[in-house]
């Protein structure tokens, strides 16, 4: 598995980003750059994506959580603040329940049941730039795509270089087929912020609200008009809120 780490290390708090199905670590570039200073930031490619290997699938959540633990162990991180989107959010949730390595959760476009995820429109073959651009418009709002065409062009370049092919993507999304956290959400006692774009076409905002309600220490916020990849559209706002959320937890301790 490929990962990249930056920041202070040592006694600094560690933030680990878990990407959406099929998307390379590029998707957290805006957060990685902003948070790798006051904190140690780790971005990794899920198995089946980009610079990580693609062993035969299908994959399950237990395997992806074990991969996450392997990354943490290799980095020497005992506990981390996890930030995940979509499938990455489901992996982070499961890790919070099954391991003792999770301090807090920040989840984007995440639901508690696999049937709430409709991720197919976001996939495109990395060697088809037109398809990459078209599918990107399902993850970002129309307003953002019209206002930021150069940013979208840059994202297409990164997707072509770092996203999963069809085999890897199918193996990853298989982990959501039987995903149903409703019976064990009460076991996830870490402070959790669930954030949803109000115009998310891939995971309904109502599913994010339900997830937050089911968590003992969950809270929900909506970014009006933003799509599934709201942390890209509103990166500055999201970065400030992640930092504020982590600082609040530290102050509570």
Parse the chain into domains and list their residue ranges. Answer: 3-252
Q: Across residues 193-203, what is the average pLDDT?
A: 97
Q: Across residues 70-99, what is the average pLDDT?
A: 96
pLDDT of residue 248: 86
Q: Across residues 174-194, what is the average pLDDT?
A: 96
User: Which residue carries 């600094």 as its tokens?
Assistant: 12
Confidence (pTM):
0.95
10 pLDDT above the threshold of 80:
no
Name the burial class of residue 136, with classes exposed (0-12), middle (13-18) and buried (19+) by CB atoms within 10 angstroms of its CB: buried
Q: Which residues does 189 contact at the CB level (< 8 Å), separation at least 6? A: 216, 217
User: Which residue carries 């920040």 as its tokens?
Assistant: 106
How far is residue 166's CA from residue 76's CA, in Å, rounded to a whole number?
A: 33
Q: Across residues 118-136, what is the average pLDDT?
A: 96
Q: Across residues 234-241, what is the average pLDDT?
A: 94
| Domain 3-252 class in CATH | alpha beta
pLDDT of residue 253: 56
20 pLDDT above the threshold of 90:
yes
Tell me how far apart the 2 most distant CA atoms of the chain are, in Å. Answer: 49
Instruction: Let me know the angle formed at the C-alpha of 73 by 160 and 20, rounded to the nearest 5 degrees.
Output: 30
How far is residue 233's CA from residue 144's CA, in Å, rounded to a whole number?
A: 7
HSE value, Cβ hemisphere, 13 Å, CA-based, for 112: 20
Confidence of residue 37 (pLDDT cuts 50, 70, 90): confident
48 pLDDT above the threshold of 60:
yes
């Amino acid at each position: 598995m490929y990962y990249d780490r930056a920041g202070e290390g040592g006694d600094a708090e560690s933030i680990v980003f878990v990407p959406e199905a099929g998307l390379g670590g590029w998707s957290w570039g805006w957060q990685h750059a902003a948070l790798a200073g006051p904190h140690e930031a780790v971005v990794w490619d899920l198995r089946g994506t980009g610079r990580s290997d693609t062993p035969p699938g299908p994959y399950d959540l237990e395997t992806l959580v074990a991969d996450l633990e392997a990354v943490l162990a290799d980095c020497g991180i005992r506990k981390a603040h996890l930030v995940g989107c979509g499938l990455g959010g489901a992996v982070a949730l499961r890790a919070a329940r099954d391991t003792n390595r999770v301090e807090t959760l920040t989840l984007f476009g995440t639901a508690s049941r696999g049937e709430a995820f409709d991720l197919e429109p976001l996939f495109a073959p990395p060697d088809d730039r037109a398809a990459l651009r078209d599918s990107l418009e399902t993850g970002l709002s129309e307003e953002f795509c019209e206002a930021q065409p150069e940013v979208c062009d840059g994202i297409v370049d990164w997707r072509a270089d770092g996203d999963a092919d069809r085999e890897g993507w199918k193996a990853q999304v298989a982990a959501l087929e039987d995903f149903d956290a409703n019976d064990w959400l009460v076991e996830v006692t870490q402070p959790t912020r669930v954030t949803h774009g109000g115009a998310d076409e891939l995971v309904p905002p109502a599913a994010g609200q339900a997830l937050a309600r089911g968590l003992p220490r969950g809270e929900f916020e909506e970014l009006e008009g933003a799509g599934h990849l709201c942390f890209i559209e509103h990166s500055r706002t999201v970065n400030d809120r992640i930092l504020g959320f982590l600082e609040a937890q530290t102050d509570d301790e």
